[in-house]
Amino acid sequence: MFKVVIMLEDVSTHETFAEAFAEFYRKTKQLVEEGTTWQVLESANFIVHTMQIGFEKVDVPMNFYLAKDLAHSAGLLTDNGKLADPLPEVPSPFVEGYCLALYMVNTKKRLPHIRN
């Protein structure tokens, strides 16, 4: 599940990253058009992916830049910053791998089945 957070408020939930990013794109673009600051854009807007890691469900937040980079890599965002039309399907393992790497870097945790 992917939750879109805009201005620190939960806006919507989506089954796929592509759907969540499309909503995130529209909402953050609207903020920019309304004159928001870069600080607000960077610190108050996220896509949060809830995923299973081992026996635990964890929330993995992606800030504006991380979500943008993943969307661009997945073909959801064009080189000139426009939302792709139509939106391509993004393979779940692609997104899961990205989020797992974020989780491990941000928490400094190892996967449960890997020993030192």
Q: pLDDT per residue over 18-70, tens digit each? A: 999 999 999 999 999 999 999 999 999 999 999 988 788 989 999 999 999 99
| pLDDT for residue 116 is more than 90 | no
Listed in sequence order, the residues at least 6 apart from 54 whose beta carbon sits closer than 8 Å to its beta carbon are: 111, 112, 113
pLDDT band at 110 (very low <50, low <70, confident <90, very high): low
Delimit the domains of the chain by residue range. 2-107
Model confidence at 109, pLDDT cuts 50, 70, 90, reads low
Total-model pTM: 0.86
Q: What is the CA radius of gyration of the chain?
A: 15
